[in-house]
Chains A and B, each alone.
Chain A
Amino acid sequence: SQQGEEDPQALSIQEGENATMNCSYKTSINNLQWYRQNSGRGLVHLILIRSNEREKHSGRLRVTLDTSKKSSSLLITASRAADTASYFCATQGAQKLVFGQGTRLTINP
């Protein structure tokens, strides 16, 4: 299985701090994606990084990918209360997306 494993499982920080979440996977991938899920809702796509890319930015988000270590990280800078959610990495091989267990992020005001 190429299931992503995320770490930490839960993270609680103060508003304004940076949040870093990590994802590891097992097999080769075409791309890796990060999604956000607010409580009781569906997932929202945040960012995609291809296997030949090492870093990507989108607003306050920064994603890195190290294919040699089969790992990725998501950094959220200057966190806000509205960033409170669960964050999932998802790896894509030939066809399907496989999701990790997610990191539950809480931003304290």
Chain B
Amino acid sequence: EADIYQTPRYLVIGTGKKITLECSQTMGHDKMYWYQQDPGMELHLIHYSYGVNSTEKGDLSSESTVSRIRTEHFPLTLESARPSHTSQYLCASSDPWRERHNEQFFGPGTRLTVL
């Protein structure tokens, strides 16, 4: 079991609310990622970070933003949630300096529903 955590696991909120999805890992990994996944579909990379103060946008355009102030923490924020943001959000991490550096470790995900 990977040491990567996401909270909340489920979130149902109304349109226009600001939300932050939390992701933390205790493995000391430099690289972290956020993916968006609709039910039964592939994962789309929306944000990634190669270390503290490093953030990049992924392949899928997203209205969310991320920050990386500490190695272990990579929160994702939506300033004004809309029904189109309803999806599952998965956080992952990897360590480029270790033998299994290509393997990504995933958190359990946050299932977001915006009404």
Contacts and interface: CB of A to CB of B under 8 A. Distances in A.
A58 B31 CA distance: 26
Give the size category of B's interface with A: 20 to 34
B107 A42 contact: yes
B19 interface: no
Contacts, number: 55
Interface residues of A, number: 23
A42 B42 contact: no
Interface string A69-92: 000000000000000001010001
B26 to A, nearest CB: 15
A102 B48 contact: no
A33 B101 CA distance: 12
B109 A102 contact: no
B85 interface: no
Contacts of B6: 42
Contact of A31 (B4, B43, B90, B102): B102
Interface string A34-48: 010000111111001
Interface of B: 2, 4, 6, 35, 40-43, 45, 48, 58-59, 90, 92, 100, 102-109, 111
Interface of A: 3, 30-31, 33, 35, 40-45, 48, 86, 88, 92, 96-102, 104
